């Protein structure tokens, strides 16, 4: 899985960008928030990605931060009938925090205004995302994680996506969170990646 790219931006025309990494050009379908925060052409950038594999093609989707990447994956993996293009459309209208708020208040009217989202899909978004978020929060409070918030769960999923086994990821997360209890998601991931393999 390609979880992030670090390279040179050589092309941008929404929703596509091309990032050159060691002589290879990766075409990426980018979110609106990523596109709005792109550096000038031929500048270096780092972006979080999701590789979508279908029968006849591979597609990369790019995001501004880990929260957006993880929310995209949640949409694609947990909501029946929502594919990657639709998930990207949702995030282009509602950033992760606003999407969670809309789901929390069951705002079917707002959700159904998004391109590609009808009334039935809006209801599935509310039901299935609520269930997914509730499961993660219950897991945290039951002791699976050492903190009772979604940041720990998101960080765990990110480390697993980067190739770490869950026990090793949990060990790193606990060490970092004990030292930095108020650190945000991106900071936690960076600190975990700094830890030498097998430490702890």
Cβ neighbours of residue 167 under 8 Å, at least 6 residues apart?
A: none
- Whether the CB-CB separation of 31 and 69 falls below 8 Å is answered with no
pTM above 0.85, yes or no: no
**Tell me: the pLDDT tens digits for 17-70?**
999 999 999 999 999 999 999 999 999 999 999 999 887 889 999 999 888 998
Can you state the angle between helices 84-93 and 66-78, rounded to 10 degrees?
A: 130
**Tell me: the pLDDT tens digits for 94-147?**
999 999 999 999 999 999 999 889 889 999 999 888 877 765 555 444 444 433
Query: pLDDT value at position 150?
Result: 64
Higher pLDDT, 151 or 95: 95
CA gap 96, 71 in Å, rounded: 6
CA-only gyration radius of the chain, Å: 18
CA gap 139, 70 in Å, rounded: 17
């Amino acid at each position: 899985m390609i979880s992030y790219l670090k390279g040179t931006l050589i092309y941008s025309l929404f929703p596509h960008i091309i990032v050159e990494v060691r002589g290879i050009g990766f075409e990426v379908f980018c979110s609106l928030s990523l596109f709005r925060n792109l550096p000038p052409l031929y500048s270096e950038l780092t972006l979080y990605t999701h590789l979508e594999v279908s029968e006849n093609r591979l597609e990369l989707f790019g995001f501004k931060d880990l929260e957006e990447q993880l929310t995209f994956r949640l949409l694609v993996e947990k909501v029946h009938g929502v594919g990657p293009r639709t998930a990207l459309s949702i995030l282009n209208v509602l950033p992760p925090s606003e999407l969670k708020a809309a789901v929390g208040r069951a705002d079917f009217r707002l959700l159904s205004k998004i391109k590609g989202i009808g009334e039935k899909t809006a209801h599935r978004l509310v039901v299935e995302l609520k269930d997914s978020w509730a499961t993660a929060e219950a897991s945290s409070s039951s002791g699976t994680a050492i903190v009772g918030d979604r940041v720990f769960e998101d960080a765990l999923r990110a480390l697993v996506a980067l190739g770490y086994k869950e026990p090793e990821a949990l060990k790193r997360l606990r060490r970092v969170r004990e030292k930095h209890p108020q650190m945000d998601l991106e900071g936690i991931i960076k600190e975990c990646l700094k830890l030498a393999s097998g430490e702890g």
